[in-house]
Amino acid sequence: MNEALTRHLLLPLHERLRGRETIGHYRHLRANEGGSPEALAVQREAKLQALADHCLAQVPFYRERLRAAGIASGADLTLDRLGDLPPLERAEIREHLADLCAVDHRGELIRYTTGGSTGAPLVFYTDLRKEARHNAHKLRYRAWHGVRPGDRQVDFWGSPIELSKQTRFRLWKDRRLLNHRLLSAFDLTDARLDRYIAELRRFRPRLVYGYPTVIHRVAVRMKERGVWPRGWPRLVATTAEMLLDHQRAAIAEAFGCPVANEYGSRDAGLVAAECSRGRLHVAAEHVVAEVDAPDSEGVGDLLITNLDAYGMPLLRYRVGDRGWLDDGGCDCGLPLPVIGGVAGRSNDFLVGGGGRLVHSLAPIYVLREIPAISQFRLYQRPDRSLEVALVTGRELTSEELDGIRTGLLKALDLDVEVAFAFPEVIAPEASGKYRWVVSEAEAGP
């Protein structure tokens, strides 16, 4: 479909028919970028106080929690006082799911399930307001890189939530009217990668979006085949996994355009995305991001308050990721606060000598030094010993395996067993994501 027609007519009509005010909020966000950080803080606090009033009136779980913190009305909950509330844990969502849902939204809730970092399913609910604001922030982030609403888009995705909706009509509507194509992230054989590359060349998307591991594999295959899609992609946006430096470089080289990372989750909402300077700007009109119990370097568990979640409010929700904030801002001129970085999920950290947490990049740097390794997964048992699964293009020598063993133990400052396995392929999780590092060991002496 003509992109201008989709942008000005079909996409706004689609969102209106779905009951979502996405486009209107997108325009508000774009206009808001010319304001000051101080004006933005006033807006955020007003939204937080309105949400608190809603919780006191409609949400049994938060009525009790707010009153216990001495908050009798929304006006009592300022941004500075948000820390008076205890963090919301996933176990509490499972235990109090019904009481976390707003009474006046019971007939309007949208049910979702996410596996989370442990694989244990978590049921939660969202609503049209939250979904529309989430989508509006995505449009805004992409506009920073020259991608406009209605531009052609290809998603490499693996979530059953989306893929299960692939009815024939939806396929036709999304592609022919909304310029949106969805490609499965599963079973990435060379033959399937070649079909995807052919589809990219036919469709010529302005935006390529999805898991960095999957897009990286597409990029590597494109380079092998000498396919260089110059002229049509304006942005590759990655999400849902850590974007590693070597992946970013390979993707940018293959597609010939900027690569920008997004950070968020289904339950918490879209939290942040990179500007043209590569800094992660918080969707400040949508969420409040805090760091719980930061260490000496400012890194701690991220707590997210979604200001637009009225169906099932999430205040100071521990999302399971670790990261840090950057109070220095960004020279791009946007008034939005900055997340200094997201270090990964809590169990994407390994436990090293003395019980210290070791970032997952430490073993990744060791394993990627051997070109014959095409995939790997590192699992740390509760006793801190290691299981390393390697997919290789040839049999590794004993010297190479000894080097991997020595490098891993040195990076972790451990003296433990290292066991190797050599599967033909490492499958993604049910969501389609790849997790290279998983630890069941506990930190501490």
pLDDT tens, position by position, 84-97 = 999 999 889 989 99
Give the pLDDT score at 442: 85
Q: Is 310 exposed, middle or buried (0-12, 13-18, 19+ CB in 10 A)?
A: buried
Q: Which two tokens stand for residue 436?
A: 């290279």
pLDDT band at 171 (very low <50, low <70, confident <90, very high): confident
Neighbours of 17 (CB within 10 A): 8
Please state at what angle helix 245-255 crosses helix 212-225, rounded to 10 degrees: 50
Fold (CATH) for 350-439: GMP Synthetase; Chain A, domain 3 (3.30.300)
Pairing of strands 437-439, 350-351: unpaired
Partner residues linked to 150 by β-bridges = none
Helices (H), 75-211: 90-95, 97-100, 128-143, 160-163, 168-172, 190-203
pLDDT, tens digit (0-9, with 9 covering 90-100), for 242-256: 788 888 999 999 999
Q: Could you read off the pLDDT of 207-218 as tens digits, one per residue? A: 999 988 889 989
Dihedral pair phi/psi, residue 209, rounded to 5°? -135, 145
Mean pLDDT score across all residues of the chain: 89
The arithmetic mean of pLDDT across residues 324-336, rounded, is 90
Residue 412 contacts residue 429 (beta carbons within 8 Å): no
Rg of the Cα trace of the chain? 23
Label residue 176 by pLDDT band (50, 70, 90): confident
Model confidence over 110-123: pLDDT tens digits? 998 775 443 445 78
User: For 159-168, which contacts have Cβ atoms below 8 Å and span 24 or more sequence positions?
Assistant: 159/431, 159/432, 160/430, 160/431, 161/112, 161/266
pLDDT over 70 at 187, yes or no? no
- What are residue 129's phi and psi, to 5 degrees? -60, -50
Q: Cα(410)–Cα(403) distance, rounded to whole angstroms?
A: 10
Distance set, CA 60 to CA 46, 99, 209, 312 (Å): 22, 5, 38, 11
CA atoms of 95 and 99, how far apart (whole Å): 9
